[in-house]
Copies of this chain bind each other. A is one copy, B any other.
Amino acid sequence: MSKASIVMFSGDLDKALAGLVIASGAAASGWEVTLFFTFWGINIVRDENKQPAKPKTMIEKMFGWMMPKGVNKLKLSKMNMGGMGTSMMKKRMAVKKVKNLQGMIKDAKELDVKFLVCDMSMDIMGLQKEEFIDEVDELVGVGTYLKESKGADLTLYI
């Protein structure tokens, strides 16, 4: 069976989009696909309606405030122009009948794409597992990521 392992490092709208399109495309063709969310990419799987289980330190709260909380807050990596570019891009996606990120995450999950979150990054950024969307399967270390990448056809760092 073909296999793909994708590191979702960036929390940008356009890059998240690219990663999810490749992941779902591969899963739909019968590939075994793993998404490994790390660093800024963890913001993609934050749930805007969930709260942390334990109290946070001041610096942890600051990280939480400054980073986008979930897919609806992501911005383009370029041409954001105070939000105007991002709005234009979303509009174009709707016009061209391309699903939004929330829809793409649901699709990926239905196609059995694995959603792994890097526990070290989560810790550094002061996030807690209770703050993630239900689609997240597991918190893992780099060892699990490497196991998933072994023998893969496609390995990307996005």
Contacts and interface: CB of A to CB of B under 8 A. Distances in A.
Interface string A31-50: 10000001110000000000
Copies in the assembly, this chain: 3
A117 B146 CA distance: 24
Q: With a 10 A CB-CB cut-off, give which of A66, A91, A141, A157 has the most chain B CB atoms.
A: A157
Contact of A158 (B14, B25, B157): B157
A150 B3 CA distance: 9
Contacts of A14: 9, 39-40
Given A29-B146, A91-B59, A120 B153 contact: no
Interface string A1-17: 01001010101001100
Contact of A40 (B22, B78, B156): B78
Contact of A154 (B25, B67, B146): B146
Contacts of A5: 154
Interface of A: 2, 5, 7, 9, 11, 14-15, 18, 21-22, 25-26, 29, 31, 38-40, 59, 62-63, 66-67, 77-79, 85, 88-89, 91-93, 96, 98, 120, 123-126, 141-143, 145-146, 149-158
